[in-house]
Amino acid sequence: MRTFIAIDLDESLKTALETLTGEFRPLAGSVRWVGKTGMHLTLKFLGEISETDAVRVSSALEEVAPRHRVFALVLEGTGAFPPGRSDPRVLWVGVVPGPPLLALQEDVEREMEKLGFEREKRRFHPHLTLGRVKFPSRLDLLVQELEKHRAEKFGEMSVRKFTFFQSTLKPSGAEYTVLKELGLA
């Protein structure tokens, strides 16, 4: 099963981001936009794992959750990967990297490493993917529109839990199933 660990967004934030992507859609036909149900902040992508490993991951995450308190998650700014180019691959909304979020992500990363999952080599750059470019093309108008929202605040929420998800890839996009929700202290 294909799995990852993430913070699911409040409905109000999902609605705000859905409105934002609605503004961007007419500017780029070559983008696969993330639907409202797929909006989340990934803490750790695990990839394909066995059911036995899923049980081990769930147990490890049960140890992580009580070590962290409820905290505020702030969505701010837009951008693209790779940055500064007119042919981006991923379009995103930024997440303010506050100490509680960074501590939770690092704790998850460390516990998964203990289970044999490879540590992410890139520095954690908290973001919510809005869309993925299906094929390289010049997206100058879209990049300009993203730039207009670079410093905009899109809202905030209290993070009370994080979730261990299964992801099933379908022609219509990824479908997510909750394997375990883990409440913070």
Q: Which of the residues are catalytic?
A: 40, 127
Q: What are phi and psi of 25, to 5 degrees?
A: -50, -45
Neighbour tally for 34: CB within 10 Å:
22
d(CA 33, CA 19): 12
The crossing angle, in degrees rounded to 10, of helices 11-24 and 140-148 is 140
> CA 28, CA 16: separation in Å to the nearest integer?
19
Q: What angle do CA 183, 159, 146 make, to 5 degrees?
A: 145
DSSP three-state, residue 138? coil
Q: Which residue has the tokens 């049980």?
A: 55
Half-sphere exposure of residue 64: CA atoms within 13 angstroms, side-chain side: 28
